[in-house]
Amino acid sequence: MALVITVAQRKGGAGKTMLAANLAAALAPTRRVALLDIDPQRSLTRWHGLRKERLRQAAAMSFSDLSGWRLAAELDRLRRGHDVVVVDSPPQIDTDARLAIRGADLVLVPLQPSPPDLWAARDTLKLAAAEGRTARLVLNPAPTASRLRSQGEAEIAEGGLALLGCALGNRATFATAFAQGLGVSEAAPKSRAAAELDALLAEVMALIG
Ligand SMILES: Nc1ncnc2c1ncn2[C@@H]1O[C@H](COP(=O)(O)OP(=O)(O)OP(=O)(O)O)[C@@H](O)[C@H]1O
Ligand SMILES: [Mg+2]
């Protein structure tokens, strides 16, 4: 049975789709990965469409885009045939997002250390807690200045919220890889972005793998 990682955050533009795509791309060479897009914006679906034109660089993964009443059954189906399922969810807490959180072994919540991001993240964390799911915040993009980053981490810790130790910086590599239907580990394997993603993935797999 697959591990299910759902990327969720009520705040729009927090980096959910970017994170989901990169996790899936980094895992795909060594695991049977399924990616599930439940966001009606379908950004991840477009990313995967671009990916199909990059067959030499892009490792294969299963892909579905789906919302509504068939979602729970689809998650069950994907769980049975893969090692890891990564779910990208919409910037709201609707029925589909609830189902994706309910079905997750880990909920990842990307955020910047700012009040609006934290307020929105709290709602997602509350839902994960109500569903008995493990959830972790991920700083994205993490502040470049180490003093600002520590301050952000301290504010999150004071609020009693669980944060991954690894974070992703504000790096153009994430955007350029995404625009090609790739993850940073494929488009720029020696980049700092790929090193950050690797470290984050190791932390995630140690937590649930
Ligand atoms: N660490 C990062 N470094 C550079 N750019 C980033 C980073 N994270 C996200 N971005 C950029 O920020 C924008 C928003 O990211 P993304 O679409 O993944 O957010 P989202 O949470 O999925 O948005 P939505 O809520 O609309 O679904 C994109 O242009 C993406 O390339
Ligand atoms: Mg998105």
Give me the DSSP letters along 183-203: -HHHH-TTSHHHHHHHHHHHH
Point out the ligand 1 atom lying closest to the alpha carbon of residue 41: 27
Q: How far apart are CA 173 and CA 128, in angstroms?
A: 31
| Three-class SS of 67-96 | CCCCHHHHHHHHHHHCCEEEEECCCCCCHH
Report the separation in Å between the CA atom of 61 and the middle of ligand 1, taken as the mean of its atom positions: 21
What confidence score (pLDDT) does residue 171 get?
Answer: 97
**Residue boundaries of the structural domains of the chain:** 3-208
How many residues does this entry show for the chain? 209
Q: Torsions phi, psi of 182, nearest 5?
A: -120, 170
CA–centroid distance, residue 13 to ligand 2 (Å): 7
How far is the centre of ligand 2, averaged over its atoms, from the C-alpha of 119 (Å)?
A: 18
β-sheet with 106-111: strand ranges across:
62-65, 33-37, 84-88, 3-7, 106-111, 134-139
- The Cα–Cα gap between 91 and 24 comes to 20
C-alpha–C-alpha distance, residues 162 and 115, integer Å? 16
Protein residues near ligand 2, an ion, with CB under 5 A: 16-17, 43
Q: Does 18 contact ligand 1 (Cβ within 6 A)?
A: yes
Residue whose CA lies nearest to ligand 1 atom number 9: 15
Q: Taking the model in full, what pTM does it have?
A: 0.98
pLDDT in tens, the chain (209 residues): 899 999 999 999 999 999 999 999 999 999 999 999 999 999 999 999 999 999 888 999 999 999 899 999 999 999 999 999 999 999 999 999 999 999 999 999 999 989 999 999 999 999 999 999 999 999 999 998 999 999 999 999 988 999 999 999 999 999 999 999 999 999 999 999 999 999 999 999 999 98
The Cα-based distances of 96 to 38, 68, 180 in angstroms read 7, 6, 28
Beta bridge partners, 163, equal: 137
Counting from 1 in the atom list of ligand 1, the atom nearest the Cα of 21 is: 18
> Which pLDDT score, from 0 to 100, does residue 149 have?
92
Q: Where in 28-181 does DSSP place strands (E)?
A: 33-37, 62-65, 84-88, 106-111, 134-139
CATH code for the part of the protein at 3-208 = 3.40.50.300
